[in-house]
Amino acid sequence: MGFFDETGKYPIPVDGRVEALAKVTGKGKYAAEYEVENVCYAVLVTSEIPSGKIKSLQLEQAKQAEGVIDIISHLKKPEVPGFADEAKIKESKFGLPVFHTDTIYFKGQPIALVIANTFEEAVYAASLVKAEYEKAPFEVDFNKARINTELKPAGKERGSLETWKNLPFSVEQEYNIAEEVHNPMEMHATIAQWDGNKLKLYDKNQGVNSVQKTISGLFNLPTDNIQVFSEFVGGGFGSGLKVWPHVLAAVLGAKQVNRPVKLMLTRPQMFHSVGYRPASWQKIKLGADSTGKIQGIHHQAKNGCAIYDPFSDGITRVTRLIYQFDNLKTENAVVPLNLSAPTWMRGPGDCTGDFAVESAIDELSYQLKMDPVELRYKNLALDKNPDTGLPWSTNYLKEAIQKGAEMIGWNQRKAVPNSQTEGDWKIGYGMAVGMWNAGRNKASAGIIMDKEGNIILQTAMTDIGTGTGTGMLNILHDATGISKSKIKIQLGNSDLPPAGSQGGSTGMSSISGAVVAVIDVLKLKLSEYVTKLDSAYKNAIAKDIILSDTGVSLKTAGQRFVPYQKIWEANNLTLIEVEASSGPGDERSKYAFCSSAAHFCKVKVNSKTGKIVVEKMVAVVDGGKVINPKPATNQITGAAVGGIGMALMEKQLIDERLGSLVGNDLAGYHFPVNADAPIIEVAFINKPDPNINPSGAKGLGEVGIIGVAPAIANAVFNATGKRFRDLPITPEKFF
Ligand code: MOS
């Protein structure tokens, strides 16, 4: 994504991603790949016990090892104004006060940072740091600890639970989902470089301005003193939405040794350093009348969290969204454990809650002897958001279900479970739906233009692999007709026009408005300059100004084409630079916004081994207008694979006797590989939402996974007659 690519050797592929060539040729730099002069290396030493105090820390031997520059620990607390006292720590909302406490909250907690001239020297010296601990009792068993935590109301109660307790059809069940870990391919890494009281960070994250803000708060520094780069990101899934202790460690290290410091997490450290989807327990009670109309849902949920960070995943939120019914109660609780802090992970909360609700509704359909698709049609809240009462701006979930049913061949499904076999294999079909509150944040974009009509379009927003840059390119091209080859994209740098993080499916919804806004500002700027040459342009409005590769025209005055060259010459310009921002207005007081998806699948289950093969998956998504067909399809396909992991494989094993994570590497943590990924067919409703933002895109990152796991579990029931309410559904559970 170079600024005026010197050679022109890396042309932008017109139909692919703007960053594709940079990525596949190694030209694009991930956080750990920046070459920074005089850099040294930092390695974390982590706690060997899950709970207690550090009694002593022996650093001498490590300090004397070859190449070691310094070691940071709580013994000589590095200066962090945000950790000055208890009150400040709370206010900083950072969670773990790393190197400022002798308290151990979890196994793997950073207790020292060894900085050396080479990476190998740092690794060796870190192995020489010895700690003695005063051990304390601990708890890492979510299922045990959850028993004694109390549920609290989560959101408004509707109607009364009393009214529907004697209904003819009801489901009352519990659901458990194991802890899952993001594990993007690119490991988190930070290079920190101080220059006086200015700080540069090359850091893997999902929002450079958010990192800038957090660091600014911790160090009492103006945000302008902090520059954060996250230009290429190899996957995030939510793990990059926060500033984690290793980032702060690199910043402190660089300050201490007065040299740039690079810190990259190891793959095992990735399992406890950058969040995870917490283990959860849920209970659903759902009742319907004899026509299948849902009368009420009582949804209770608990999720694990760290002792120092009471993260609530928002599991019952989705229950308030999809269906219309009169009586609802939702309750949540968090369960503190001696584990590191969880965080948002792809479809956070909703993905978990949706598994329980969509499984219960499937169960209800068999009681009613009603097709699960029909049952959903009967209950969808298609007019308004049932929680707020606001009309949906657009909601095409019903169309998505219809299309998905066609694509999977739903008519081949047998209504009676365990009734379709092929040799040793039992065949089944399942479906589930998912929904997400479609959000939008304020964002800014900038344009730099030269006299040849070359454009650089910029924003601070990162692109975690979702196609942000490509989307911006497409919007600019579609709105102006300017050739894609004349447009370059720059992003992921906090010096560029500010924007929110890429998370919660808000990326495209937020940045698209800014791109549209900056195009208008550019047009007005150009017409101002053209007025010198042609007074017809005086006071022209943006929509009448037509851009092209070579110049501007005016729609209302018989075109009157003026080449860019002339404009630049007449005004003695080198570059035109404009910036604009755009954010939500009052539309959110008039409308509710949702993205949604219908997931269908066909599975086969081996009756001898219990092996489940997902043969085909279909996802039909209403994410508003699709700006980038190819990356959007990739997003949904990837999310479906993530959902297969959630349903059938992913489980962070934890040794309850030692408090350790087990199998914390990519061999031990089971997740889908190519051989587990079936044919995944993706379709989009692709109708613009007229109210959400100028582009009509609602966002689709989360709904790609919300509903996948219950669709699979429901298909497994259809195939075998066995209902699984605990994830993952591993083969031994059949026997
Ligand atoms: Mo995501 S959990 O919105 O990165």
Ligand 1 atom nearest the C-alpha of 504 is 3
- The packing angle between helices 629-648 and 708-720, to 10°, is 50
CB 504 near ligand 1, within 6 Å: yes
The pLDDT assigned to 559 comes to: 82
For residues 283 and 137, the answer to whether their CB atoms sit within 8 Å is no
Strand segments (E) across 378-485: 421-422, 425-437, 443-449, 455-458
Q: Best mutation site among 346, 463, 466, 635 for ligand 1, i.e. most ligand atoms within 8 A of its Cβ?
A: 346
CB 503 near ligand 1, within 6 Å: yes
From the number of C-beta atoms within 10 Å of its C-beta (0-12, 13-18, 19+), residue 304 rates as buried
With vertex at residue 727, the alpha carbon angle to CA 724 and CA 731, rounded to the nearest 5 degrees, is: 70
Please indicate whether the domains covering 34-137+185-235+240-273 and 440-583 agree at the CATH topology level: no
From the number of C-beta atoms within 10 Å of its C-beta (0-12, 13-18, 19+), residue 732 rates as exposed
Beta bridge mates, 551? 563
The pLDDT assigned to 4 comes to: 36
- What is the residue extent of each domain of the chain? 34-137+185-235+240-273, 367-437+589-734, 440-583
Q: Listing from the earlier edge strand, what are the strands of the sheet with 487-490?
A: 487-490, 455-458, 443-449, 576-582
CB 138 near ligand 1, within 6 Å: no
Fold of 440-583: Aldehyde Oxidoreductase; domain 4 (3.30.365)
The pLDDT assigned to 49 comes to: 98
The pLDDT assigned to 15 comes to: 65
Ligand 1 atom nearest the C-alpha of 239 is 4
Alpha carbon distances (Å) from 648 to 280, 643, 644, 712, 716: 16, 8, 6, 9, 11
- Centre of ligand 1 to C-alpha 343, Å, is 9
CB 436 near ligand 1, within 6 Å: no
AA identity, residue 161: L
- Centre of ligand 1 to C-alpha 344, Å, is 6
CB 346 near ligand 1, within 6 Å: yes
Tell whether domain 34-137+185-235+240-273 is in CATH 3.30.2310.20: no
CB 699 near ligand 1, within 6 Å: no
- Predicted ipTM beyond 0.95: yes
Fold of 367-437+589-734: Aldehyde Oxidoreductase; domain 4 (3.30.365)
Task: Give the Cα separation of 673 and 645 in Å (integer).
Answer: 9
Task: Give the Cα separation of 364 and 354 in Å (integer).
Answer: 15
CB 276 near ligand 1, within 6 Å: no
Q: Listing from the earlier edge strand, what are the strands of the sheet with 130-135?
A: 103-104, 52-58, 130-135
The pLDDT assigned to 374 comes to: 98
- Centre of ligand 1 to C-alpha 691, Å, is 23
For residues 594 and 392, the answer to whether their CB atoms sit within 8 Å is yes
CB 344 near ligand 1, within 6 Å: yes
Phi (first) and psi of residue 83, to 5 degrees: -110, 15
The pLDDT assigned to 3 comes to: 35
Ligand 1 atom nearest the C-alpha of 344 is 2
Ligand 1 atom nearest the C-alpha of 464 is 4
- Centre of ligand 1 to C-alpha 19, Å, is 21
For residues 160 and 85, the answer to whether their CB atoms sit within 8 Å is no
Ligand 1 atom nearest the C-alpha of 701 is 3
For 64, the enclosing helix (H) or strand (E) is helix 60-64
b/e code 659-675 from CB counts within 10 Å (16+ = b): bbbeebeeeebbbbeee
Q: Best mutation site among 182, 205, 233, 241 for ligand 1, i.e. most ligand atoms within 8 A of its Cβ?
A: 241
CB 207 near ligand 1, within 6 Å: no
- Centre of ligand 1 to C-alpha 278, Å, is 14
CB 238 near ligand 1, within 6 Å: yes
For residues 496 and 228, the answer to whether their CB atoms sit within 8 Å is no
- Centre of ligand 1 to C-alpha 666, Å, is 21
Low-confidence stretches of the chain (pLDDT beneath 70): 1-15
Alpha carbon distances (Å) from 101 to 87, 109, 113: 14, 11, 14
Alpha carbon distances (Å) from 513 to 23, 509, 626, 675: 27, 7, 14, 40
pLDDT in tens, 357-388: 999 999 999 999 999 999 999 999 999 999 99
- Centre of ligand 1 to C-alpha 498, Å, is 19
